[in-house]
């Protein structure tokens, strides 16, 4: 597992089918997460589209995040 300290950033590459787990260890911090398609950088994770697909604002365990 990669641990990223508060107020820091990191990048990693995932292959199809791989998963990432984001754990907020400091309580009330905001976690900014960005994801892009390696094949087409104009395709990116869209919280606007994900919220519509999920039917709620906050994702839960096992929810899929979708792209634009």
pTM for this entry: 0.65
Count of beta carbons in the 10 Å neighbourhood of residue 10: 8
Instruction: Compute CA distances 39 → 15, 21, 34, 49, whole Å.
Output: 12, 23, 16, 20
Question: Taking the CA of residue 29 as centre, how many other CA atoms within 13 Å lie in the half-sphere pointing to its CB?
Answer: 14
- What's the pLDDT tens digit per position in 1-51? 788 887 888 889 988 888 888 888 777 777 788 899 989 999 999 999 999
Residue pair 33/45 in contact by the 8 Å Cβ criterion: yes
Where do the structural domains in the chain lie, given as residue ranges? 29-68
Distance of alpha carbon 39 from alpha carbon 60, whole angstroms = 27
């Amino acid at each position: 597992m990669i641990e990223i300290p508060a107020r820091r950033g990191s990048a990693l590459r995932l292959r199809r089918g791989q998963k990432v787990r984001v754990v907020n260890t400091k309580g009330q911090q905001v976690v900014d997460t960005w994801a892009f398609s390696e094949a087409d950088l104009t395709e990116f994770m869209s919280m606007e589209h994900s919220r519509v697909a999920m039917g709620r604002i906050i994702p839960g365990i096992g929810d899929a995040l979708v792209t634009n």
